[in-house]
Structure 1
């Protein structure tokens, strides 16, 4: 079993401890009743062998049954799954009791006369019911305690996320600029710059579009934006960076598939793009920065690869990527994969969202 909840060595130590306690208790009771020969009885070769086999059997029996029952409880399996496990437990325990009785009593005629088939069967049933009930009870208690602990961890994580969200909202409010004022001002500057420089006016218009998208607050309740708008935002960021560097950047953006009305949580793609601009060699002719976005059957795949800068590098805090990972977890649960590969000369990011 991979990562069993109940460890084999711990169960072995518990069994050994119980047998030692039983031995000490029996000796103490016998001494109180003035019965001699108790220690000698327990130290007989045949009894020691049976005891050792019993400890080993119960250890492995508990290891399998408790871990199996625990898995069924975690997965919330149906009743018949538990019956199947109990059936296997019953067969194994019956076989153990038969072998144990044969080793203890052999074919002694006096014992055979006392232990009728009904008595033997009844003793087996009672032994199995009691032992399996205790096994299930202990397993169930451990499962409940683990579930309670897990809920506490999830609640703590939820609280931390809510606190982070509150801080983010507060910081946003502190830095917020009236989007209409900013948009109108940039449009004014754009109109005034047209007679003087086509490149300058294009830059102002592109910046206006970037700020308009960044400051928008009319998203639906689920907080998702149209994928086509997110792609256009990425194009605008690439365009304005090209203007900054006199169109000398080596950047390729390829979009494949049918976008239609697909939606995505905003600023995820642009964070990956900005990360490539920040840490990548964006002027390499041999290794241009490569972005590929593909939508297939409602699934999104985004690929980013860039050659690392040579010389002094900016210190990466990883905050941006950590932030989008948390946002992806909140929005998509387990329906996404964010794979980041930090190689010697290249930096590669792959994002797959399996259900937009």
Structure 2
């Protein structure tokens, strides 16, 4: 009979030895605390008890090794019920054979010389049901845990493929644009516009910085960008939007802590800010867009809240936020928390990263 050996023989052996040792010590301690029973301790340390204990450990090890591994294989491979019943019957016969042989080989140790045969069978049945039940439970929980791990690995692989595909598309689009040509052209337009309009030239320069960051950090080798550059990118996006609306946008952006040296996966913060710009009321003096960033050692807290627009709403696909969650999962695993509160009039996002 071939089956997947999920648990090794020696791992099960040492667990069984540990359990026998713990329960044996508890039993000895309990007996020693009872004055009337304390004088019986000497009868416990005999060669018959020692031999029976060794055989019990070996039986339990073999039983659990075979049963847990087979039941694990049965559950994971979804075998037919007939295989399960047939194997369980074999286990029952094996258990009965061992316990009956033990009963007759070590009558003094069991103290059941005159016991009713029905009681012996009942005791063996209870032991067998317990052994099989424990084996099934361990096999089921192990299979459940392995499936969860496998699902998580597959999700990570799928996410990695999506990111690689997006990166390939980005690189393809980037190849269609000569970054140096674009940057030089914008600088030329900036220089030409400077004598005529300081506001226009400032907008061109800001756009140049935005494009340079987008094209340079989009394919970062380690997947991360300096946090100070991401913050500057957010400031530039806010700045160019202010120019679009004649500096009438009500936006408060505060940064606390030391950002130099810290790194973050690029375009995470700006996506949350752009979401607020897209769906928020940008001109409310009473309810401005509030953006806060706090850095403390290797942790980051980002907060963005905006008042929702009144009237017709722009259709939101949610792709941007879904993409953020996937990228955060891949980069920070369980070391981050993204909270989104979508209330009637207010939209709030909070991002906490515990290990930058």
Q: What's the TM-score, normalizing by structure 1?
A: 0.64
For residues 229 and 219 of structure 1, what CA distance do their matches in structure 2 show?
A: 14
CA distance in 2, matches of 1:326, 1:239: 29
Q: Which residue of 1 aligns with 2:154?
A: 156
By how many angstroms is 1:127 displaced?
A: 5.5
Q: Secondary structure at the match of 2:351?
A: strand
Cα shift readout 1:96-142 (whole Å, capped 9, x = no counterpart): xxxxxxxxxxxxxxxxxxx9961289959855653443123212321
SS at match of 1:119: coil
* 2:314 equivalent in structure 1: 314
Q: Are the counterparts in 2 of residues 219 and 225 from structure 1 also a CA contact under 8 Å?
A: no
* Map 1:341-356 → 2, pairs under 5 A: 341-356=341-356
Pick the aligned partner of 1:118 from 111, 121, 138.
111
Deviation at 1:148, TM superposition (A): 4.2
Counterpart of 1:168 (choices 148, 166, 175) is: 166
Q: How big is the shift at 1:168?
A: 1.1
Contact 1:287–1:307 (8 Å) recurs in 2: yes
- For 1:277, the equivalent position in structure 2 comes to 277
In the TM superposition, residue 162 of structure 1 has moved relative to its aligned partner by: 3.4
Aligned to 1:40: none
The aligned counterpart of 1:199 is 199
* Unaligned segments of structure 1, at least 5 residues: 1-77, 92-114
Which residue in 2 is equivalent to 1:135?
Answer: 133
Q: Secondary structure at the match of 1:327?
A: helix
The answer to whether the 8 A contact 1:307-1:346 is kept is yes
Map of 2:76 onto structure 1: none
Which structure ranks higher in relative contact order (CA pairs < 8 Å, sequence separation ≥ 6)? 2
Residue 236 of structure 1: aligned partner: 236
8 Å contact from structure 2 (residues 213, 233) kept in 1: yes
Give 1:164 shift. 1.7
Count residues in correspondence.
255
1:152 CA drift (Å): 4.0
Q: What SS does structure 2 have at the residue aligned with 1:259?
A: coil
Asked if the contact 2:249/2:283 (under 8 Å) is kept, the reply is yes
- The residue aligned with 2:227 is 227
For 1:252, what is the secondary structure of its paired residue?
Answer: strand
Q: Give the aligned partner of residue 178 of structure 1.
A: 178
Q: Does 1:290 align with 2:290?
A: yes
How far apart, CA to CA, are the structure 2 residues paired with 1:194 and 1:268? 33
Kept in 1: contact 2:217–2:266 (CA 8 A): no
Q: What is the rounded CA distance, in whole Å, between the counterparts of 1:228 and 1:291 in structure 2?
A: 15
Residues 156 and 330, structure 2, Cα contact 8 Å, conserved in 1? no
Q: Partner residue of 2:19?
A: 83
Q: Which residue of 1 aligns with 2:48?
A: none
